Amino acid sequence: MLSFMLRRLGTFIPTFIGVSIVSFLFIRLLPGDPILLMAGERGMSDERYAQLMTQFGFDKPLLTQYWDYITGILRGDLGISFKTKRPVWDEFFALFPATLELSLCAIVFAVLLGIPSGIIAAVNRGKWPDQMLMSTALVGYSMPIFWWALLLIILFSGLLGWTPVSGRISLMYFFPTESGFMLIDSLRSGQSGAFASAVQHLILPTIVLGTIPLAVIARQTRSAMLEVLSEDYVRTARAKGLSPLRVNGLHALRNALIPVITVIGLSVGTLMAGAILTETIFSWPGIGKWMVEGIGSRDYTAVQGGLLMIAVIVMVVNLVVDVLYGLINPKIRR
Amino acid sequence: MPLLDVRNLSVDFKTSNGQFRAVDRVDVQVDVGDVLAIVGESGSGKSVSMLAVMGLLPWTASITADSMRFDGLDLATAEPRQRRAIIGKDVAMIFQEPMSSLNPCFTVGFQLREALKAHLPLSRRERQRRAVELLEQVGLPEPERRLNAFPHQLSGGMCQRVMIAMAIACKPKLLIADEPTTALDVTIQAQILELLLELQKNTGMALVLITHDMGVVAETARRVSVQYAGQKVEEQEVQALFANPHHPYTSALLAALPERATTRRLPSIPGVVPGQFDRPAGCLFSPRCAFADDRCRQVNPAMAAAELGHARCHYPLIQGIPQREVS
């Protein structure tokens, strides 16, 4: 197990270098000059422009810039954001809990609904529950996120007035952020109604962000279950006289989980991408919204730092998934 | 009253090309403590009829039977819950592929204790003790250590022993063994058969042995039922069957045994088992039968009398000679 994990960590390093290059180049390939954008409409003198170029190190060759960037990363320094003049590292981790909270809720929502739907569809293959669930999943998967979000806002916030339109908590409540997770902080604050308000604010973003992973997980669970249900050991489980719940939910599901947790791991990447849209629509103060703003103002350090951090998170999640394979199915352990 | 009494059982499979009849009007009776062998080549429906009894057929199968009773319970009309209370407890089954019949995700101990937990009111500690006892009973060395092993850490023979331990966990009245030795090495095959027969003798349970190996039949069974293309073509006591087969198919099968060969080349049965699309109009064996005439090719034969082994033949053999004048 240890050597397995070390080997996986070994593949980490080249991936990390690749991602750092891509994130470094990506923002520089975008047209637009960050220093001119900083100056605004009035522009600036040539001397001032040259001075700022030197200050930010843009006058050096690209390779040197990259070298400075990567050595900075190794020291745990992602640079200073042009816009806010604060370290990117601090900015990122101030906003990251909001995104993490939303992503976790979305993935829990997707898993809790997706896996049972997949099982039900597989067990009733070809019958109406299967057809209903799978066509719903297909609709969910094909729906553009922003449009789906707007539909839900119109229905639940506009017509029914059940949920708030944006933000993480009602303005009535104020308390210092401790963990950065609104659900935890609002509970800790002890203010009555704060937690309920935080939950209400989470509902729509969670559904919107979780819809695509939900559809993917449901379909993947179904197909993995269908394959497993025809296995000999499932017949053995039935031959023992076990209940269908135990046969399908334990004996079959455990074997079907490998491809399912693979897509769960991969959808973490989708969640991060989806968070950018979802956070923008719901004015959710997370890294998605921060990155969009960073791209808008050509905040090189913020965008490349943010991209790198997200990539690292996705890589770590998939590493965890690899380790989970061995825990779920001992045959894979080597 | 027999322990297992199945009459006129038919099983049809829905396929993309329409219905396919895998089992055609088969009767099976097994008495308490009986040993019945069901023989036939691949695709003769011998496994399917027993899977139907266990309720283990896939959803594409539809089952019809005049009667399907086990130990007083009508399996055809029983609620799924009633059925599950009997399956795995009073009637158990082991399968052809021991390696893939155990769940790779769980330890041997877990799967064994689960079988006990499903049917018997035992405490956790009692289940553990019984599990060790069962592994000892099926001849696995170091049972305590084996309980923590995963199936992929065991050999095929060991897996089959575990399957047998699981099947006899609740002391069943009937054990169905579906080609239990086919996937194993020849040396292991004999050991597993010996184990099954010993367990049968010691516990007095009935045993249905599904096989295509006539040698196995001769060594183990008390009664033999021969199936061909989904139909039961003959049923006799084992000595009588070997001495005086009444159906031409049985006779041809026995003639193909290497021990009985008198020529340098082994005798074989020409042709193959009819499939879904080339089922003959009359007797299903007629295209391959040495004695078939026009009547055989056009009219489906009924079953002959008990003293002729219920042979499904117009001209049952007596000492190898077709009885043309019988009917």
For A236, which residue in chain B has the nearest alpha carbon?
B101
For A330, which residue in chain B has the nearest alpha carbon?
B105
Per-residue model confidence as pLDDT tens digits over B164-207: 999 999 999 999 999 998 888 888 888 899 999 999 999 999 99
pLDDT of residue B327: 47
pLDDT of residue A333: 63
The answer to whether B75 contacts chain A (CB < 8 Å) is: no
For an interface test with B, the pick among A227, A236, A329 (most B C-beta atoms closer than 10 Å) comes out as A236
Query: How much is the average pLDDT of B86-96?
Result: 93
B105 interaction partners in chain A (CB closer than 8 Å): 251, 254-255, 328-331
pLDDT of residue A70: 87
Backbone angles phi, psi at A298, to 5 degrees: 50, 45
For B113, which residue in chain A has the nearest alpha carbon?
A240
For an interface test with A, the pick among B14, B103, B116, B152 (most A C-beta atoms closer than 10 Å) comes out as B103
User: What does each of the 334 residues of chain A score in pLDDT, given as a tens digit?
Assistant: 677 778 777 888 888 889 889 888 888 888 777 777 777 777 778 888 888 888 877 888 888 888 888 888 888 888 888 778 888 888 888 888 889 889 999 999 999 999 999 999 999 998 999 999 999 999 999 988 889 999 999 999 889 988 888 888 877 777 777 777 888 888 888 788 888 888 888 999 999 999 999 999 999 999 999 999 999 999 999 999 999 999 999 999 999 998 999 899 888 877 877 788 888 888 888 888 888 888 888 888 888 888 888 888 888 888 888 888 888 888 776 5
A254 interaction partners in chain B (CB closer than 8 Å): 103, 105-106
CA distance B168 to A73: 63
The answer to whether A8 contacts chain B (CB < 8 Å) is: no
C-beta separation of B45 from B229 below 8 A: yes
CA distance A16 to B56: 51
Backbone angles phi, psi at A180, to 5 degrees: 90, -15
Query: How much is the average pLDDT of B247-258?
Result: 89
B102 interaction partners in chain A (CB closer than 8 Å): 233, 236
Nearest CA-CA distance, residue A326 and chain B, Å = 10
Q: Of all residues in chain B, what percent carry a pLDDT higher than 90?
A: 58
CA distance A277 to B277: 58
pLDDT of residue A324: 85
pLDDT of residue B262: 79
pLDDT of residue A106: 94
Query: How much is the average pLDDT of B135-161?
Result: 92
For residue B326, pLDDT beyond 60 = no
A238 interaction partners in chain B (CB closer than 8 Å): 55-56, 87
Nearest CA-CA distance, residue A103 and chain B, Å = 30
B86 interaction partners in chain A (CB closer than 8 Å): 241
B100 interaction partners in chain A (CB closer than 8 Å): 231-233
Nearest CA-CA distance, residue B225 and chain A, Å = 23
pLDDT of residue B325: 62
CA distance A236 to A215: 31
3-state DSSP of chain A:
CHHHHHHHHHHHHHHHHHHHHHHHHHHHHCCCCHHHHHHCCCCCCHHHHHHHHHHHCCCCCHHHHHHHHHHHHHCCCCCECCCCCCEHHHHHHHHHHHHHHHHHHHHHHHHHHHHHHHHHHHHCCCCHHHHHHHHHHHHHHHCCHHHHHHHHHHHHHHHCCCCCCCCCCCCCCCCCCCCCCHHHHHHHHCCCCHHHHHHHHHHHHHHHHHHHHHHHHHHHHHHHHHHHHCCHHHHHHHHCCCCHHHHHHHHHHHHHHHHHHHHHHHHHHHHHHHHHHHHHHCCCCCHHHHHHHHHHCCCHHHHHHHHHHHHHHHHHHHHHHHHHHHHHCCCCCC
Nearest CA-CA distance, residue B179 and chain A, Å = 14
Query: How much is the average pLDDT of B294-323?
Result: 88
| A241–B166 CB contact, under 8 Å | no
pLDDT of residue A311: 87
Query: How much is the average pLDDT of B305-320?
Result: 88
A236 interaction partners in chain B (CB closer than 8 Å): 95, 101-103, 163, 166
| A239–B92 CB contact, under 8 Å | yes
Window 228-257 of A, Cβ < 8 Å to B: 230-233, 235-243, 251, 254-255
Nearest CA-CA distance, residue A82 and chain B, Å = 53
For the question of an ipTM over 0.85, the answer is yes
C-beta separation of B326 from B247 below 8 A: no
Average pLDDT of chain B is 90
The answer to whether B270 contacts chain A (CB < 8 Å) is: no
C-beta separation of B30 from B208 below 8 A: yes
**A315-324, B54-63, B80-89, B111-120: least confident range:** A315-324
Which residue of A236, A243, A331 is in closest CB contact with B95?
Answer: A236
Which residue of A231, A239, A242 is in closest CB contact with B100?
Answer: A231
